Structure 1
Amino acid sequence: MTTTQTFSQELIVAIEQNDINKVRKLHSKKRITRQNIVAFDGFGQSPITAAVKNNNEEILDLLLQLCITLKADINNRDKNGFTALHQAVYYEDKILMKLLQYDNINVDVQNEDYNTPIHYFCQKFKYPSCQEPFQLFIQKGVNVNAQNKNGETPLHKAIFNNYVRLILVNLLLKNGANVNLVTMNQESPLHYAVRLGREDLVSVLLKAGADVDFVGTKDKKTPYELAIDEGSKEMIARIKKYKVLFQWLQEHDLEQYKDAFLKEEIFYDEISEMNEAMVDKMGFSKGHRLRIIKLITNLANENKEKKPKTPEVIAEEDPSPPDTPDISGLRHSLHTLRHIGEVNIIKHEELEYTDKLGSGSSGKVYKGLYKGKEVAIKVLKSMTEAREIDEFKKEFQIMSAIRSKHVVHFYGAVLQPKLCMVMENCIRGSLYHVMNDEKLDIGWDKTFRFATEAARGIACLHMWEPMIVHRDLKSLNLLVNDKWEVKVCDFGLSRFNTGSNLETLVKMRGTFAYCAPEVYFGEQFSARSDVYSMGMILWELVTRCINGRYERPFSEFKNLQHDFQIIIQTAKRNLRPTIPKACPVSFSQLIQDCWDPSSENRPTCSDIVRRLAEIENEYRMNTQLWNSYIVPLPKSQDN
């Protein structure tokens, strides 16, 4: 072993022990040189990679600064051609981003197999925060179409990522990845996706223009033929739709407009329904415009004489199912929580992230897969304070305790490498977003359904033993699934109404526009405080129904610009949103009873469910009259 390697090993040991003082001491003695700071030992490890693997940001910052000072080559490769960046893609996003932000980093350096760092990033990176480091790769000018010795591109590699494959595939395609580059076996990413049996991936690749006719030399089959072997009827039908469209475009010398058809999602069956406005939108040249209009007319005439020609779908049997920082003591403490039965801790490896749904103050929410089911994954921000850990435990306790069809189902939590909550995914989003969709007709039927199911959900919490108070009830915290069922969610502020929680229950929480007056005055938050919030939601629903557009509570009071102004006015001056004049008396009275200034005068949620049933019966007996109350206002420019 050379002197450089010996000292490099000494430096690596200090780094592995997280001994930054020793690292600084070695530097002060000028024993860290341009050679040994990036030298690899016999195990393929250098001081830089040791800091990466140890997830030590402070030491890595020091070493990177020394690389600049000493003019060391951070792109130095080990005996197999791996650089520090090749290895960093396996670890935490913050560590990886520090390397990617280094001025002289080479993002296209190849190892002996011609794999670049982005090949490994796309295959191995575990975290849903992959957008940030990916964007840095792009800013550094990475070649997203680089091919390794087998001809695989980063897009091929992303297909095998078990955690964030769909997110990465979309990122690659948006940033210039060629969907039709093939391997040495003439296999495209579409071959890989079909063989994996992922219909969602197949759909994304087809929309990006994947060629369905490539014949791989490995199996001598096209992606369509592979799909038949896999036995997936959905995948077969989807590929067939694209195949028929592409063949038709080729027959009529219109292949150059393939992307236009894919963008508008117009397939062979829909061509006869196209009009001239749609043709103009798709950008046909003058000569091609006349030809496509003639073809559309011919297809329309054919369809009048016979049933529409549909792509052949081969009937096959359904395919068989395929055979956080470590927080000390958290796992044990979750098992000791009261009022809950099973404690389900999910391994990070069991999850796959497919899309980002949104973000908030507590973290980000992703759509994903867990044991074959589509779920929502709430990735919490780094929790370093005892208070934050305590809040997580309380939400976990509530979510684990309650099981009801009116409450979002909780599958469990991930503890490492990041804290996550895994729950049912309600694809229509929140009730707030449903009401904001002006294309959606929300008449009395939907109004009663949404109101009743929301009230049943809160009633379920209030009847639980011990009672649960939500404390942050609003239309944003009511989710709507594909069957239009409303479910209660977001229990970050919820508490069991027990003696041990009395101090917490007097704290003002939740969005002030929905917050009961007694909470402002420091009184205990109770089930009747949730009822006040329910009154606001009933107002939102009936206003949306009658006016035909969503209005925020108190939006008519232009002088109230902030939430704290609203809570002062509601508590001290008994201000409430204006109920539409056309609102039937029975519904109006229910809303007013819910937001009565005195909590004792408010109904229970069970009372609300009963009264809603009575009011709905009144509507059924006088449907024409009630429908006459609906007089949509002009569309609002700003809600």
Structure 2
Amino acid sequence: MEIGDGGFGTVYKGHLRDGRVVAVKRLYNNSCRRVEQFLNEAAILSRLRHPNLVLFYGCTSSRSRELLLVYEFVPNGTVADHLHGHRAAERALTWPLRLSVAIEAAAAFAYLHAVEPPVVHRDVKTNNILLDDNFHVKVADFGLSRLFPLDVTHVSTAPQGTPGYVDPEYHQCYQLTDRSDVYSFGVVLVELISSKPAVDVTRDRSEINLAGMAINKIQQCQLEQLVDLGLGYGSDEATRKAMTMVAELAFRCLQQNGEMRPPIREVLDALRSIQDDGFGKKGDALIAPRSPDTVHAPWDSMSTTPSISLV
């Protein structure tokens, strides 16, 4: 019943006696680091409740022979599977669904950053965003997450995460902040508009890292070379405008300087505004009248966060 294999353990599908279908993460070994990650994930998830976070049912004792974490089973795979993995050929994630996925994932991270004490996920990526049968989001994998003290601006810690998603400022300065998650979420947004993986060694050397590729294409006004044209970017004006706005938002999230990135709450509000403009009074048509004509126009921020000009 193995359904997944990651850096820290194997995930199995199982059933509880009461009939619930569950996912069971079995950590590879009981080294001190594994036990720490096990305790960390159990401690964090046991205090969180949000419709877009995977539901945590329980775990074994840290002194048990096996370290097992038990969650609700989320049946529809990961966002990565559908964008550029083994389910990409199904083309199930239409543009409206991708926008909904972005909103629900942002809502989960906004909740994490708002609880007391706040939680920095530290491993935001499309492989950790699960989908149920109705394509609703369930964010998972809190093994690297950190509780963030309320009275500090950052936590000094060795960088951890997945290549292609790690905040460059965190990597260089060893200072973790909530804007580190925002950077990683910016990569997720680019994946959603491009259907490309965060790292691909088969791309040209300068484009192996998707974040760098996105920054360059946006600055050079070559968004059509980045986006997945099959989503309607080239054939539908309303979709083109909406995808352009998401690209602009991703650009802000991917700023090298963490202070220039918007808080995740502002990212969520911007995404909801894009969706409201697109699905409001004209049925399913995606209409985003506030979108600038090109990605070189500045983002019109709705808060006090500085606008980032894309020129």
Q: TM-score, normalised by structure 2?
A: 0.74
The match for 1:412 is 58
Secondary structure at the counterpart of residue 528 of structure 1: helix
**TM-superposition CA deviations, 1:294-322 (whole Å, max 9, x none):** xxxxxxxxxxxxxxxxxxxxxxxxxxxxx
Q: Distance in 1 between matches of 2:196 and 2:261?
A: 24
The match for 1:576 is 215
Letter in 2 for 1:591: A
Q: Decide whether aligned partners of structure 1 residues 533 and 403 sit closer, same or farther in structure 2, where only a CA change above 3 A counts.
A: same
The match for 1:402 is 48
The match for 1:380 is 27
CA contact (8 A) 1:516 1:533 kept: yes
Q: Decide whether aligned partners of structure 1 residues 575 and 453 sit closer, same or farther in structure 2, where only a CA change above 3 A counts.
A: closer
Q: Distance in 1 between matches of 2:170 and 2:71?
A: 30
The match for 1:54 is none
The match for 1:434 is 82
Q: Decide whether aligned partners of structure 1 residues 501 and 510 sit closer, same or farther in structure 2, where only a CA change above 3 A counts.
A: farther
Secondary structure at the counterpart of residue 402 of structure 1: coil
Give the Å deviation of 1:557.
4.4
Matched ranges for 1:159-170 at <5 A: none
Q: Distance in 2 between matches of 1:608 and 1:503?
A: 20
Q: Decide whether aligned partners of structure 1 residues 428 and 504 sit closer, same or farther in structure 2, where only a CA change above 3 A counts.
A: same
Matched ranges for 1:171-570 at <5 A: 355-370=1-16, 371-383=18-30, 385-415=31-61, 416-436=64-84, 437-498=88-149, 505-543=156-194, 550-553=195-198, 555=200, 557-559=203-205, 566=209
Give the Å deviation of 1:599.
1.2
**TM-superposition CA deviations, 1:406-445 (whole Å, max 9, x none):** 1100001023341100001110111111223221242221
**TM-superposition CA deviations, 1:67-111 (whole Å, max 9, x none):** xxxxxxxxxxxxxxxxxxxxxxxxxxxxxxxxxxxxxxxxxxxxx
Secondary structure at the counterpart of residue 367 of structure 1: strand
Letter in 2 for 1:423: Y
Give the Å deviation of 1:465.
0.5
Q: Decide whether aligned partners of structure 1 residues 483 and 505 sit closer, same or farther in structure 2, where only a CA change above 3 A counts.
A: farther
Secondary structure at the counterpart of residue 465 of structure 1: coil
Structure having greater relative contact order (Cα 8 Å, sep ≥ 6):
2
Secondary structure at the counterpart of residue 423 of structure 1: strand
Q: Decide whether aligned partners of structure 1 residues 577 and 534 sit closer, same or farther in structure 2, where only a CA change above 3 A counts.
A: farther
Give the Å deviation of 1:386.
2.6
Q: Distance in 2 between matches of 1:409 and 1:624?
A: 32
Q: Distance in 1 between matches of 2:158 and 2:152?
A: 11
The match for 1:598 is 257
Matched ranges for 1:40-189 at <5 A: none
Q: Distance in 2 between matches of 1:492 and 1:434?
A: 24
Give the Å deviation of 1:560.
5.8
Q: Decide whether aligned partners of structure 1 residues 367 and 500 sit closer, same or farther in structure 2, where only a CA change above 3 A counts.
A: farther
Q: Distance in 2 between matches of 1:386 and 1:499?
A: 27
Q: Distance in 2 between matches of 1:501 and 1:412?
A: 31
Q: Give the unaligned 5+ runs of structure 2.
A: 225-232, 234-239, 289-311
Secondary structure at the counterpart of residue 175 of structure 2: coil
**TM-superposition CA deviations, 1:274-298 (whole Å, max 9, x none):** xxxxxxxxxxxxxxxxxxxxxxxxx
Q: Distance in 2 between matches of 1:367 and 1:523?
A: 37
CA contact (8 A) 1:502 1:524 kept: no
Percentage identity across paired residues of the two chains: 30
Give the Å deviation of 1:382.
2.1
Letter in 2 for 1:435: L
CA contact (8 A) 2:275 2:286 kept: no
Q: Give the unaligned 5+ runs of structure 1.
A: 1-354, 544-549, 627-639
Secondary structure at the counterpart of residue 58 of structure 2: strand
Q: Distance in 1 between matches of 2:120 and 2:144?
A: 9
Q: Decide whether aligned partners of structure 1 residues 413 and 533 sit closer, same or farther in structure 2, where only a CA change above 3 A counts.
A: same
Secondary structure at the counterpart of residue 23 of structure 2: strand
The match for 2:309 is none
Q: Decide whether aligned partners of structure 1 residues 499 and 453 sit closer, same or farther in structure 2, where only a CA change above 3 A counts.
A: closer
Root mean square deviation, CA, Å = 2.9
Letter in 2 for 1:513: G
More helix by share: 1
CA contact (8 A) 1:495 1:501 kept: no
Q: Distance in 1 between matches of 2:196 and 2:110?
A: 26
Q: Does 1:615 align with 2:261?
A: no
Secondary structure at the counterpart of residue 71 of structure 2: strand
Q: Distance in 2 between matches of 1:575 and 1:445?
A: 21
Letter in 1 for 2:261: R
CA contact (8 A) 2:165 2:184 kept: yes
